Amino acid sequence: MNEQSRPKQQNTAAELGELFLRMPAQQHELVQGLMKATSPNSLDPLNLGGAFMELAQAMTRNPMQMLDAQFDLARDYARLWQNTAQKALGLDVEPVATPDPGDRRFRHDDWSEHLLFDFLKQSYLVTSRWVQTQVEEAEGLDEVHRKKVRFYTKQFTDAVSPTNFLLTNPEVLRETVRTRGANVVRGLRNLLNDFDVENGKLNISMTDKAAFEVGRNVATAPGKVVFQNDVFQLLQFEPATATQFQVPLLIFPPWINKYYILDLKPENSFIRWALSQGHSVFVVSWVNPDERLAAKTWEDYYNEGISEAIDATLRACDHDQVHAIGYCIGGTLLASGLACMAANDDKRVKMATFFAAQVDFSEPGDLEVFIDEKQLANLDTMMAKTGFLDASAMSTSFNMLRANDLIWTFVINNYLMGKDPYPFDLLYWNADSTRMPRALHMFYLQQMYQHNRLSQPGGITLNATPVDLRRISIPVYLQASREDHIAPYNSVFKAAGLYQGPVRFVLAGSGHIAGVINPPASGKYCHWTNDAAPGELDAWLAGSTEHKGSWWPDWHAWAAPQLGEQVPARAPGSGGLQVIEDAPGSYVRA
């Protein structure tokens, strides 16, 4: 055994020696990178100072409340010490604090069975919950500031969890002993590889990017690019049935990410599944913009994106209407376009489906904490330098919404355990994010998130037409997900009270991505339906029926009777558009 371990020991020592020889130069590069990332304008880019100052003032206004809170904390600590002592004597005791049901940080047996680590876990839970309770119970704190303080307090308490440090994580300690420190060497190397010295940023690797290639093992549904302009390429996919519905399906994904969330692996591809059900599928693949598109506006993306894609699809199919799907921000743009079309008696869209798409932003979810005057001004100043928002900036914001799952899990795995990220198609797509044009992005954040103008009649205009969502009278399928932090289901539901046509609302299990991408064959999650027209959300939920598995068949059963007769399957390029190149196209590879 000792003989077998000797080469590994020697290799580890050599790797450590090499690492320490490289340290001075790398340390210098890291410091330079951090200095580049730090400027007077970035000292408080999230505009937290005022919010936390107001919290401090609110707490000092009620000293008795603070005294009671400190007494409660001291009492819980005393109970914890007493329980730990009793447990040390072999007695069975009820824990003072236990992790929430969905908290996976403390799954290792040592967190419950080892006296020291059980004490660390419980003391952390007691303290972090106490801190968050003080934020919730502070009297006189402005609700906007409370939301911001609540969010960043949670970020802080998540960051200081004992699971995130080598000496207080039993699983990491066991791995360090087992590998004789090799995990530390590998972890440091992973950390250095992930650090972008030029920009002073840590880009945490979430998956093995070398394991995937667009067009090889993701985004593989066969098809062709049949139209393109500066804003998008239009993909038409090969039919999977001998006949197809007369009304084609045109999908508008969010431009924040690339379209192939709808076409990851064949077994979880919504595009392939829709083709198998007889839909004639077209998908917009948005361009990954650079400085040349800096001035592109919301109106431009409607005219050159939504409208031109509809026209191109109709030419390809020799038909006069489409069934349009809008996903997330793609749905927000689609809704504004449908209102403009309704005002101009434009009937090119027969029916519409929205995946996790908000149009009323009065309760926009956790992303609201990133939206205020100062933060938007800082963001605009940053985008003015390049003409676009770098993809990593938006990705970081989304990851912060689920920091334990999308940040700290990988810190532990990559840097403490010293493991390489696991190949995962969804996380590969998540990392393959896109830039956003300055004018378009600022309009979206200011007019939607900050001022909620899309839900107000005439709040915005498209092509000099006041946009009023209440003009939309076509049939609408509205999907939301129960655990969606980006487009909360209560926010998505508000659209049901705006559209005047028949609306079917369906609530899926899971979150913003897994709630949508849930193929029937997987048998995962569940969904809720209510055949009554949506009214008040609480009444809809009370009268809803839970169904096991995917909501996709419900969507197809709703859509199919409205899609006209069956026609011979349409091969890409067989209609009024010529083939430009094979799917997935060149835009998605940029």
If asked whether residues 132 and 234 sit together in one domain, one would say no
If asked whether residues 482 and 549 sit together in one domain, one would say yes
DSSP-derived letter for residue 260 is G
Q: Does the pLDDT at position 202 exceed 90?
A: no
What is the spatial distance between Cα 483 and Cα 535, in angstroms, rounded to a whole number?
21
Q: Does the pLDDT at position 13 exceed 60?
A: no
Query: Does residue 184 lie within any of the structural domains?
Result: no
- Tell me which of 146, 179, 212 is where a domain ends: 179
Take residue 373 and report the two structure tokens written for it. Answer: 């005057």
Q: Is residue 569 exposed (0-12), middle (13-18) or buried (19+ Cβ within 10 Å)?
A: middle
Take residue 382 and report the two structure tokens written for it. Answer: 């940053």
If asked whether residues 276 and 140 sit together in one domain, one would say no
Cα diameter, the chain: 82
What is the spatial distance between Cα 203 and Cα 463, in angstroms, rounded to a whole number?
40
What is the spatial distance between Cα 45 and Cα 505, in angstroms, rounded to a whole number?
38
Query: Does residue 402 lie within any of the structural domains?
Result: no
If asked whether residues 459 and 554 sit together in one domain, one would say yes
Sorting pLDDT into bands at 50, 70 and 90, what band is 521? very high
Q: Does the pLDDT at position 457 exceed 80?
A: yes
If asked whether residues 231 and 290 sit together in one domain, one would say yes
Neighbours of 503 (CB within 10 A): 19
- Tell me which of 179, 198, 214 is where a domain ends: 179
Sorting pLDDT into bands at 50, 70 and 90, what band is 48? low
Which position has the token pair 């990593």?
392
CATH number for the domain spanning 515: value is: 3.40.50.1820
If asked whether residues 257 and 365 sit together in one domain, one would say yes
Give the pLDDT score at 105. 95
* pTM of the complete model: 0.88
Task: Choose the weakest-confidence range: 2-6, 242-246, 408-412, 432-436.
Answer: 2-6
The dihedrals phi and psi of 223, each to the nearest 5 degrees, come to -175, -170
What is the spatial distance between Cα 473 and Cα 356, in angstroms, rounded to a whole number?
20
Query: Does residue 7 lie within any of the structural domains?
Result: no
If asked whether residues 104 and 245 sit together in one domain, one would say no
What is the spatial distance between Cα 125 and Cα 251, in angstroms, rounded to a whole number?
44
What is the spatial distance between Cα 190 and Cα 194, in angstroms, rounded to a whole number?
6
Q: Does the pLDDT at position 24 exceed 90?
A: no
**pLDDT tens, position by position, 223-257:** 999 999 999 999 999 999 999 999 999 999 999 99
Give the pLDDT score at 402. 81
If asked whether residues 241 and 163 sit together in one domain, one would say no
Q: Does the pLDDT at position 469 exceed 70?
A: yes
Over range 453-473, report the average pLDDT. 97
Give the pLDDT score at 3. 40
What is the spatial distance between Cα 459 and Cα 447, in angstroms, rounded to a whole number?
8
Q: Does the pLDDT at position 84 exceed 80?
A: yes
Contact in structure between 280 and 244 (CB atoms under 8 Å):
yes
Secondary structure, 3-state, 322-381: EEEEEECHHHHHHHHHHHHHHHCCCCCEEEEEEECCCCCCCCCCHHHHHCCHHHHHHHHH
**pLDDT tens, position by position, 99-146:** 998 899 999 999 999 999 999 999 999 999 999 998 888 888 888 888
Over range 352-380, report the average pLDDT. 90
What is the spatial distance between Cα 120 and Cα 117, in angstroms, rounded to a whole number?
5
Give the pLDDT score at 474. 98
What is the spatial distance between Cα 163 and Cα 33, in angstroms, rounded to a whole number?
28
Query: Does residue 206 lie within any of the structural domains?
Result: no
Take residue 110 and report the two structure tokens written for it. Answer: 């040592």
What is the spatial distance between Cα 452 and Cα 27, in angstroms, rounded to a whole number?
46
Domain containing 150 equals: 50-179
Which residues in 97-207 belong to E strands, given as ranges? Answer: 195-196, 201-202
Give the pLDDT score at 142. 80
Nearest CA to 206 out of 467, 399, 454 is that of 399
If asked whether residues 144 and 284 sit together in one domain, one would say no
Q: Is residue 557 exposed (0-12), middle (13-18) or buried (19+ Cβ within 10 Å)?
A: exposed
Q: Does the pLDDT at position 442 exceed 50?
A: yes
Q: Does the pLDDT at position 49 exceed 90?
A: no
Query: Does residue 153 lie within any of the structural domains?
Result: yes
Residues involved in catalysis:
328
What is the spatial distance between Cα 437 and Cα 498, in angstroms, rounded to a whole number?
29
- Distances in Å between the Cα of 149 and the Cα atoms of 65, 155, 370, 434 are 19, 10, 12, 29
**pLDDT tens, position by position, 530-560:** 999 888 999 999 999 999 999 999 999 999 9
Give the pLDDT score at 433. 87
Give the pLDDT score at 236. 98
**pLDDT tens, position by position, 490-505:** 999 999 999 999 999 9
The number of folded domains in the chain is 2
Choose between 201 and 170: higher pLDDT.
170
**pLDDT tens, position by position, 405-431:** 888 999 999 999 999 999 999 999 998
Query: Does residue 442 lie within any of the structural domains?
Result: yes
Query: Does residue 139 lie within any of the structural domains?
Result: yes
If asked whether residues 143 and 267 sit together in one domain, one would say no
Amino acid type, 127: T
pLDDT mean across residues, the chain: 90
| Structural element, H or E, at residue 135 | helix 115-137
Q: Does the pLDDT at position 460 exceed 90?
A: yes
Report the share of the chain in percent with pLDDT over 70.
Answer: 91
- Tell me which of 179, 208, 233 is where a domain ends: 179
Q: Mention every residue, 6+ apart, whose C-beta is less than 8 A from residue 247.
A: 319, 321, 322, 323, 350, 351, 562, 563, 564
Give the pLDDT score at 533. 86
Query: Does residue 326 lie within any of the structural domains?
Result: yes
If asked whether residues 255 and 159 sit together in one domain, one would say no
If asked whether residues 169 and 282 sit together in one domain, one would say no
Over range 457-468, report the average pLDDT. 97
Choose between 496 and 49: higher pLDDT.
496
